[in-house]
């Protein structure tokens, strides 16, 4: 007797105008997506252009060796998908040409998690910008060049970023906001929170419930 295999539908990716998404895109088979300093710079410039063209506001990012994390608010339902498609295609063409290779670079579709409650936004900021620390690449997020931490925490110029309203409410001026933001990183994220963030991202699900006692106190 032949048993037919029924393909399960892929989880529907949620995207709502102005609601932030935590976006993850990995290299195929975990291969490196960045092989030189110029690769990082080219990707960031392409990201800036594609985000602008697709009306997407970027709040935080980190470029790891074989994957990227972005925190983005789309201007419409299709903004994120269009941005990632354009960015992925352009960057693969550049990367293959520069490094004399062919074939795919990315691992299928990007993954994403809707940040449905603004209480979770700063948690996502921390999760994204602490990636190099968790990977033991650096001792502190400020030591890593390819993330948004230096801009968000110290005011370093970064044309890619559009601060979310929750970030601007961290303080009455730039100095106060940056000091409050730095303070959020005094403690590492708990394993429970890390598990919830990873499960939500890998499953293309809205970020789940986090109890109030686990949330950072940000005074807003």
Q: What is the pLDDT of residues 179-209, one digit of tens each?
A: 999 999 998 899 999 998 988 887 777 775 5
Least confident of 4-18, 75-89, 143-157: 4-18
Q: How many CA atoms lie within 13 A of 99 on its CB side?
A: 18
State the pLDDT at residue 153: 98
Give the closest residue to 58 by CA, choosing from 134, 147, 118, 171. 147
Each domain of the chain, given as residue ranges in start order, spans 21-202
Strand order in the sheet with 21-26: 56-63, 67-74, 21-26, 111-114
Q: What kind and span of H or E run contains 70? A: strand 67-74
Supply φ then ψ for residue 111, to 5 degrees.
-105, 155
pLDDT digit string (tens) for 26-66?
Answer: 999 989 999 999 999 999 999 999 999 999 999 999 999 99
Q: pLDDT: is 200 or 72 the higher one? A: 72
Which of the four pLDDT bands, split at 50, 70 and 90, describes residue 212? very low
Mean pLDDT of the chain: 88
- Write the CA distances from 98 to 7, 35, 65, integer angstroms: 37, 10, 17
pLDDT score at 15: 65
Q: How far is CA 43 from CA 38, 53, 85, 86, 152, in A?
A: 9, 15, 13, 12, 20
pLDDT greater than 60 at residue 215 = no
Highest mean pLDDT among 3-17, 103-117, 129-143: 129-143
Q: Answer for the pair 30, 98: CB distance below 8 angstroms, yes or no.
A: no
What's 21-202's CATH class?
alpha beta
Pairing of strands 56-63, 67-74: antiparallel
Helix (H) or strand (E) holding 117: none
3-state SS assignment for residue 57:
strand
Query: Is the pLDDT confidence value at 25 over 50?
Result: yes
């Amino acid at each position: 007797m032949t048993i037919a295999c029924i393909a399960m539908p892929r989880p529907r990716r949620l995207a709502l105008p102005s609601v932030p998404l935590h976006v993850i895109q990995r290299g195929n088979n975990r291969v490196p997506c960045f092989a030189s300093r110029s690769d990082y710079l080219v990707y960031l410039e392409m990201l800036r252009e594609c985000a602008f063209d697709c009306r997407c506001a970027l709040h935080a990012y980190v470029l790891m060796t074989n994957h990227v994390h972005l925190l983005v608010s789309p201007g419409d339902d299709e903004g994120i998908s269009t941005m990632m498609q354009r960015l992925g295609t352009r960057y693969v063409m550049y990367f293959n040409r520069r490094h004399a290779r062919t074939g795919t670079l990315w691992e299928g579709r990007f993954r994403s998690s809707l940040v449905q409650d603004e209480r979770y936004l700063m948690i996502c900021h921390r999760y994204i910008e602490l990636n190099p620390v968790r990977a033991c690449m650096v001792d502190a997020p400020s030591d890593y060049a390819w993330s948004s931490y230096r801009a968000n925490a110290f005011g370093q110029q970064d044309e890619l970023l559009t601060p979310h309203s929750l970030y601007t409410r961290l303080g009455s001026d730039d100095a106060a906001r940056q000091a409050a933001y730095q303070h959020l990183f005094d403690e590492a994220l708990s394993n429970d929170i890390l598990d919830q963030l990873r499960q939500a991202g890998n499953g293309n699900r809205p970020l789940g419930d986090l109890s109030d006692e686990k949330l950072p106190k940000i005074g807003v």
